[in-house]
Amino acid sequence: MSVLEGIQGPEDVKALSRGELDTLAEEIRTFLVEEVSRTGGHLGPNLGVVELTMAIHRVFDSPRDAVVFDTGHQSYVHKLLTGRHDFSGLRTQGGLSGYPSRSESEHDIVESSHASSSLSWAHGIAAGRAVAGERDRHTVAVIGDGALTGGMAWEAINNIAAERDLPLVIIVNDNERSYAPTRGGLADHLATLRTTRGYERFLDWGKHTLNRTPVVGGAMYETLHGVKKGIKDIVAPQGLFEDLGLKYVGPVDGHDVAALEAALRRARAYGGPVLVHAITQKGRGYDHAMNHVGDQFHAVGVINPETGLPLEISGRSWTDEFSDALVEIGEERDDVVAITAAMMIPVGLEAFSERFPERTFDVGIAEQHATTMAAGLAYAGLHPVVAIYATFLNRAFDQLLMDCALHRAGVTFVLDRSGITGPDGASHHGMWDMSIAGIVPGLRLAAPRDGQQIPVALRAAVDVSDGPTVIRFPKGSVGEAIEAVRTVDGVDILAEPDDGEVDLLLVAVGAMVAPSLTVAEKLGAEGLRVRVVDPVWALPVPDAVVELARSAGRVAVVEDNSVSGGVGTHVSRALCDTGIHAPVDLFGLPRDFLDHGSRGQVLDRVGLTPDAISARLLDVLR
């Protein structure tokens, strides 16, 4: 039996000899490459935290001591060391989650994979246990260096530093990159810590800015983080943390179990908040990951483990269409700039950044700062395009509302991975963006139905200068272009009865257009007359949709957003306000957190498939 096969929990890890620990690390890396190459998942981050996770479970007593991962994609080794060895269904329906999951294990605490939240969780857990008199229980937060670029992490540090006797250990997993290379003043400071051991004078400016003044707002820190000139090379290496009140231990080799154990035991014995700085290598032990310049195989699909090459070759993606369109617009207009939050490659900005480096801004994991910075860029006469995942717009709602919309800033938000994203689960589904956007005054939202419509929507969006615009599209490959039969005041009619008589007006939004056309075919086979329309710009509801509803006996809206507050809700209200009393059936995602699975499996689970939709409509229409 291998060493790994004998690990069913942290106590088994504690019992290993030094030689067995080396063997275990090697076996874990072999296991991860073999298993994740079959299913896809976050490979690089987990290859980098093997020894670190082993050391954590040797020094601390999970679950009595709480271990919080930020972000959760670096928890695969933790799963293995807590007895979860069946990775055959990783990130698939019924299999292991790609993130910590309370339903899987008592060792898992925080399920959300949104970055920069671990220190707030850890502070709350540790403070709660202290109130209960349980000061002998430690709380450990494992935070990736990229997550420290998020303002929420520094709001937490500001408060944790005041808790002098709280048994809390912060482990910074410093691999110089969260997804892509970590950027900004904090990244420079960590780089200094890697190469400098001595103390230098901590300048008054830095001390007053980062220690004595109340820097407690997330957006405020994110802004300071970006202003790296004046911080780089003048902050004493440990000073940034110790002057804030945190004991600093490190840097320590993140692949030396003995050194890590020694550092963590010192931190555990200290009796107050301690920051342990561990230097790791993302993708360690797998040459294809180490040599991959972009992201060290941060996340992979199904690959050949021998070559590192993908086995699933897909066509052009929605992201590809956006990427090409933005570069083309950038060639024509020098006022168009791009912003992202540590996701340059996955949101399709790499080509734009290579062509226009001076017009591209990667602010780190700081969506709040990105959004308000965009408002500032718009005020300065530019048109910013903020490209992020749909799920991460949630984090910047206040800035979208108060900084962009209130100031009528011409900012375009491009939301990749909208709707059901599949294997990443509840925290990554982009199913709330249209509900959020729908309550923002002056905001206009487009949901292109195919790749051909993305450049059309993007060109229209960057021409808007008096308020924010949003373009959303799903993850994956684009299908065939869907041509309109005709267009009525900007609303595309995609299918309709020959005689003009309409039993049902079917309003289809974005990626749900193709399934809706199938619904219309099924209903047509039953003798029902259906008109399918794509509003193109779904919010606010176009007047043409309202007018087309006048001649229909019933209206249905199909979208892959939460049915609560989605486009269907706005269509229903628009009809009511105009005195149209046709019944409106809403088809969308339930107000719930949806587990991981393929997009098709999740849509089937919630009844958002052509068969389920047409069956419901047949019942009411008959």
From the candidates 395, 449, 472, 475, which is the catalytic residue? 395
pLDDT in tens, 176-203: 755 455 555 555 555 555 545 433 333 3
Q: Which of residues 370 and 148 earns the better pLDDT score?
A: 370
Q: Is the pLDDT of residue 532 over 80?
A: yes
Q: Which domains does the chain have, with CATH numbers?
A: 4-290 (3.40.50.970), 318-472 (3.40.50.970), 486-621 (3.40.50.920)
pLDDT in tens, 598-607: 888 888 898 9
CA atoms within 13 A on the CB side of 265: 9
Structure tokens at 119: 């220190």
Q: What pLDDT, on the 0 to 100 scale, is given for residue 182? A: 52
Structure tokens at 152: 């929420």
Q: What pLDDT, on the 0 to 100 scale, is given for residue 312? A: 65
pLDDT in tens, 298-337: 666 666 666 666 666 567 899 999 999 999 999 999 999 9
pLDDT in tens, 132-142: 888 899 999 99
Q: What pLDDT, on the 0 to 100 scale, is given for residue 287? A: 64
For the question of residue 232 being annotated catalytic, the response is no
Residue 543 backbone dihedrals phi, psi, to 5 degrees: -60, -30
Mode of pairing for the β-strands spanning 486-488 and 552-562? unpaired
Structure tokens at 572: 């229903």
For the question of residue 331 being annotated catalytic, the response is no
* DSSP summary character for residue 247: E
Cis peptide leading into residue 71 (ω within 30°): yes
Q: Are 110 and 38 in contact (CB under 8 A)?
A: no
Q: What is the dihedral of CA 200, 203, 208, 210, to 10 degrees?
A: -50
Integer Cα distance of 396 and 392 in angstroms: 7
Q: What is the dihedral of CA 114, 120, 122, 123, to 10 degrees?
A: 180
Residue 225 backbone dihedrals phi, psi, to 5 degrees: -60, -40
Q: Are 587 and 559 in contact (CB under 8 A)?
A: yes
Nearest CA to 470 out of 449, 448, 445, 435 is that of 445
Binding site for thiamine diphosphate: what residues are annotated?
73, 113-115, 146-147, 175, 286, 367
Binding site for Mg(2+): what residues are annotated?
145, 175
Mean pLDDT of the chain: 85
Q: What residues does 279 pair with on adjacent strands?
A: 174, 253
Q: What pLDDT, on the 0 to 100 scale, is given for residue 282? A: 82
The SS3 of residue 587 is: strand
Q: Which of residues 123 and 499 earns the better pLDDT score?
A: 123
Integer Cα distance of 270 and 213 in angstroms: 27
Sign of CA dihedral 449, 452, 453, 455: positive
From the candidates 282, 417, 449, 522, which is the catalytic residue? 282
Q: What percent of the chain has pLDDT over 70?
A: 85
Q: What pLDDT, on the 0 to 100 scale, is given for residue 202? A: 34
b or e along 581-592 (b: 16 or more beta carbons within 10 Å of the residue's beta carbon)?
Answer: eeebbbbbbeee
Confidence class for position 259, pLDDT limits 50, 70, 90:
very high
Query: Which segment of 100-104, 411-415, 426-430 scores lowest on mean pLDDT?
Result: 426-430
Q: Are 378 and 408 in contact (CB under 8 A)?
A: no
For the question of residue 547 being annotated catalytic, the response is no
From the candidates 35, 222, 321, 367, which is the catalytic residue? 367
